[in-house]
């Protein structure tokens, strides 16, 4: 099993520059006092991504170990693509607003940002929303593992697991659709290059592919049996895990060594 401190440190290491990139872009957008509504909505997306990445920093070292190296690595990739997207868009904003002074958009720049640049704005918005949703899913699954490991597994936790499974399954479907749309656009460009930005599409493809892989990893860790075993192993424990009072809820005892006598569902 990977060292929890090294796994956690590797994830935290990527969150710091990512937060820096999102906050720099947010500051630049806030300085555009009369920006179009699409740019203003982008500011809210940046705030929610900032909150999601910040919450990831609070995940306990032990939970990172339970989630596993692949989840940690895919989390880093997802955050890294978000950082790259923000840095790239920030450079674009600075280029698009080169005629503006003191945060007031010139008419040329306002027209450019408000109309001609809808494609890149939409692209970043979707990447930010995907990143936020995926990172929040990581935090949510980590919280569930922590609850079970700390002996707080109840019927409410079982319901929470089911709810999280549904949410992640829906997120997987949405991410697959976004990835397919990007790949379709890339295929069209290969046949007939246009004014669209191929590097931007490649960036989107990487972002959605990373999110999809991470979401699939998380979904695989959500079955109650999987969570109970992993939580018990993280404690170095042995014993019985059952579903609830009279086998109808989800309970985990204090266990030492391996796991045995696991049963789920009413009997």
**Biggest alpha carbon distance in the chain?**
72
Helix axes 118-149, 224-234, angle to 10 degrees: 60
pLDDT in tens, 83-116: 999 999 999 888 877 655 555 555 455 555 554 4
Say how far apart CA 191 and CA 200 lie, in whole Å.
Answer: 17
pLDDT in tens, 164-220: 999 999 999 999 999 999 999 888 887 766 555 667 788 899 999 999 999 999 999
Question: Which residues does residue 101 pair with via DSSP β-bridges, in sequence order?
Answer: 104
Q: Where are the beta strands (DSSP E) in the chain?
A: 241-242, 251-252
Q: Is 94 exposed, middle or buried (0-12, 13-18, 19+ CB in 10 A)?
A: exposed
What global pTM score does this model have? 0.78
Kindly report which listed range (11-25, 112-126, 156-170, 230-244) carries the lowest average pLDDT score: 230-244
Question: Which residues does residue 252 pair with via DSSP β-bridges, in sequence order?
Answer: 241
CB atoms under 10 Å from CB of 219, counted, come to 18
Tell me the two tokens of residue 112: 């450019």
Q: Is 1 exposed, middle or buried (0-12, 13-18, 19+ CB in 10 A)?
A: exposed
Tell me the two tokens of residue 9: 């440190």
Say how far apart CA 227 and CA 168 lie, in whole Å.
Answer: 16
CB atoms under 10 Å from CB of 224, counted, come to 21
Chain centre distance of CA 113: 27
Query: Which pLDDT value is given to residue 235?
Result: 58
DSSP letter string, 194-224:
-SS-HHHHHHHHHHHHHHHHHHHHHHHT-SH
């Amino acid at each position: 099993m990977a060292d929890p401190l090294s796994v956690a440190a590797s994830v935290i290491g990527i969150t710091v520059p990512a937060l820096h990139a999102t906050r720099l872009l947010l500051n630049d957008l806030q300085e555009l006092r009369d920006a179009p509504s699409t740019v203003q909505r982008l500011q809210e997306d940046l705030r929610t991504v900032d909150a999601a990445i910040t919450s990831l920093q609070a995940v306990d070292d032990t939970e990172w170990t339970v989630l596993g190296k692949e989840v940690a690595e895919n989390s880093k990739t997802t955050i890294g693509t978000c950082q790259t997207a923000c840095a790239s868009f920030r450079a674009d904003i600075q280029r698009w607003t080169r005629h503006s002074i003191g945060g007031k958009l010139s008419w040329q720049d306002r027209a450019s940002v408000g109309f001609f640049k809808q494609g890149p704005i939409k692209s970043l918005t979707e990447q930010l929303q995907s990143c936020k949703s995926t990172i929040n899913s990581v935090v949510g699954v980590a919280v569930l593992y922590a609850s079970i490991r700390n002996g707080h597994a109840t019927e409410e936790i079982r319901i929470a697991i089911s709810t999280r499974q549904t949410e992640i399954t829906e997120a997987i479907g949405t991410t697959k659709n976004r990835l397919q749309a990007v790949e379709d656009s890339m295929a069209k460009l290969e046949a007939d290059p246009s004014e669209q930005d191929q590097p931007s599409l490649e960036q989107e493809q990487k972002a959605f592919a990373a999110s999809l892989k991470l979401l699939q990893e998380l979904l695989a860790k959500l079955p109650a049996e999987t969570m109970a075993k992993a939580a018990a192993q993280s404690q170095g424990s042995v014993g019985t895990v059952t579903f609830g009072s009279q086998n109808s809820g989800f309970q985990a005892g204090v266990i030492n060594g391996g796991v045995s006598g696991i049963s789920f569902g009413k009997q």
